[in-house]
Homo-oligomer: A and B are copies of this chain.
């Protein structure tokens, strides 16, 4: 237990944990202070995400290669998943879909662009030619495309048949999950060596002992769920008060908050000129959302939600996801990076954010 406190003391990000009891307290005392609750819950989720990531990595490290890889692969986006499931249970499907689309775009553009920029500020020109990075980019492109086909075709053909779309979404979700399972078999089984090399060195933390890690994992997941509940309940009123559309909150705020822990790892790797690793975290996480989190949420909507949720995104989100996946594929295909490339990618992300902020999108 003292190990955990030590970890917290040495990491400034974890000091934000103080906001967890604060937000839970305010929720009891002043349940109608939506804007305050919204801001406090955002501040509370960031350190919880970091702690969750630490616990997941520790469990993964202590359970050996194969099982550890499986745990990392399934729990890597646990924060995003818990937030989305909470929104799902509340029937806020627009928020769920925005957070899926936003997580893909944020990982593929913001995380990648910031890695290029941060790495480029220290190093004149960075290379990342290795096979793994390119494979990952192809994987992300195909995964995103697979997720988007129904939305694209529905939009292109102006189809208005909710039942058929729902049936297609369900079949598609099953197909994507099957693809994800095969992907695990690929990266943890037949082609483990191609992927394994990069991972271990990433971990600059000493892993937590297995018992503590499991308890932390369970306890923090519960805390994330509690705070997410407050977040989801307050987001609509608070968003309106702050002048933010639900699309902006789901797309930008949720994904920046939920991905904070991964950003920290990826940025650190970029600064150390280990851009292969940064690219792999960014694209791998984006692909995981498309292949695993998104279809899982569709399947869970049959159990948790008030009604089945489909995979039909609003057309603007489709455009953004396609552009993000294409940009990531083209930029990483080059194999070189310099700071200005990072600026440009961040600019595209900023334009997305601006568009979502300014335009009254019909979700």
Contact = CB atoms under 8 A, between A and B. Distances in A.
A307 B121 CA distance: 41
Contacts of A197: none
A194 B340 CA distance: 13
Interface in A100-159: 124-125, 131, 134-135, 137-139, 141-143, 145-146, 149-150, 152-159
Given A344-B143, A354-B168, A138 B319 contact: no
A329 B323 CA distance: 14
Contacts of A146: 344, 347-348, 351
A152 B187 CA distance: 36
Interface stretch (A10-18, A32-40, A175-183, A198-206): A175-183
Nearest to A358: B168
Contacts of A315: 153, 156-157
Interface residues of A, number: 74
Given A159-B360, A344-B143, A355 B131 contact: no
Given A124-B191, A182-B340, A331-B138, A153 B316 contact: yes
Interface in A205-242: none
Nearest to A161: B360
Contacts of A362: 157-159
A344 B134 contact: no
Interface in A273-310: none
Contact of A314 (B157, B359, B360): B157
Contact of A348 (B149, B355, B361): B149
Given A142-B327, A153-B355, A330-B333, 12 more contacts: A137-B330, A141-B330, A142-B347, A142-B348, A146-B344, A153-B359, A156-B316, A157-B315, A158-B362, A159-B359, A164-B358, A186-B339
Contacts of A333: 330, 333-334
Contact of A153 (B138, B158, B319): B319
A24 interface: no
Contacts of A350: 175
A125 B194 contact: yes
Interface of A: 124-125, 131, 134-135, 137-139, 141-143, 145-146, 149-150, 152-159, 161, 164-165, 167-168, 171-172, 175-176, 179, 182-183, 186-187, 190-191, 194, 314-316, 318-320, 323, 326-327, 329-331, 333-334, 336, 338-341, 343-345, 347-348, 350-352, 354-355, 358-362
A146 B353 CA distance: 12
Contact of A141 (B131, B175, B327, B360): B327
Nearest to A329: B330
21 contacts: A125-B191, A125-B194, A138-B330, A138-B331, A138-B344, A142-B344, A146-B348, A149-B352, A150-B355, A153-B359, A155-B156, A157-B315, A159-B360, A159-B362, A167-B358, A175-B347, A182-B340, A183-B343, A187-B340, A191-B340, A194-B338
Contacts of A176: 347
Contacts of A360: 159, 161, 164
Most buried by B among A190, A341, A344: A344
B183 A142 contact: no
Given A159-B361, A334-B333, A343 B179 contact: yes
Contacts of A125: 131, 191, 194
A248 to B, nearest CB: 13
